[in-house]
């Protein structure tokens, strides 16, 4: 499990790839995109099947992104997480967040192992919206629940 210092270090970066961005305005990746942008983050959506996300250009792969990103949030199914991490490694991204919210997780043993093997700073199994202040009430509830269950980075 990541530490709170690792979470804070990741969120201090402002230029972040969002791997697994969805064209669906109701998808949770779209919520993350909107909320983080509203809080001053510059997110770069990545979806191999989309040209536009939220009306903006979407990269088809991490290789299509600028070289100086601060990190990447991975929001693909766990089966595809290792491939997303490989793309991050190839692109020189040194901070990765494997998303886990209420629904499916992007965490896989292989993706976590790849991060460790390549010295990637990793947040595995949490949602960034639980930590970005001001935090909406639903994300505070989710954070409190994870704290009680012992699954919140300390």
| Residue the block writes with tokens 């960034």 | 128
pLDDT band at 125 (very low <50, low <70, confident <90, very high): confident
Asked if the model's pLDDT at residue 105 lies above 80, the reply is yes
| Residue the block writes with tokens 């639980």 | 130
Quote the tokens at residue 106. 């992007």
- Number of structural domains (the chain) is 1
For residue 63, the tally of other CB atoms under 10 A from its CB is 11
- pTM of the model as a whole: 0.93
> In this predicted model, what pLDDT tens digit does every residue of 2-17 receive, in sequence order?
889 999 999 999 999 9
Report CA 25 to chain centroid distance, whole Å.
17
> In this predicted model, what pLDDT tens digit does every residue of 14-53 receive, in sequence order?
999 999 999 999 999 999 999 999 999 999 999 999 999 9
Report the C-alpha gap between 34 and 111 in whole angstroms.
Answer: 26
Q: Which domain holds residue 109?
A: 4-148
Whether 153 is covered by a domain: the verdict is: no
Whether 125 is covered by a domain: the verdict is: yes
- The predicted model gives 110-137 an average pLDDT of 92
Report the C-alpha gap between 32 and 44 in whole angstroms.
Answer: 12
Say whether 71 sits in a helix, a strand or coil.
strand
């Amino acid at each position: 499990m990541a530490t709170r210092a690792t979470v804070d270090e990741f969120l201090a970066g402002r230029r972040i790839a969002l791997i697994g961005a969805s064209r669906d305005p109701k998808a949770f990746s779209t919520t993350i995109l909107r909320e983080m942008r509203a809080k001053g983050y510059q997110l770069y959506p990545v979806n191999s099947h989309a040209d536009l996300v939220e009306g903006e250009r979407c990269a088809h792969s991490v290789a299509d992104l600028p070289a100086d990103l601060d990190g990447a949030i991975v929001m693909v199914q766990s089966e595809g997480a290792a491939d997303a991490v490989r793309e991050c490694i190839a692109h020189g991204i040194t901070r990765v967040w494997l998303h886990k919210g209420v629904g499916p997780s992007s965490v896989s043993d292989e993706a976590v192992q790849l991060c460790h093997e390549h010295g990637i700073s990793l947040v595995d199994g949490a949602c960034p919206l639980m930590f970005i202040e001001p935090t909406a009430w639903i994300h505070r509830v989710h954070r409190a629940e994870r704290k009680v269950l012992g699954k919140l980075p300390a």
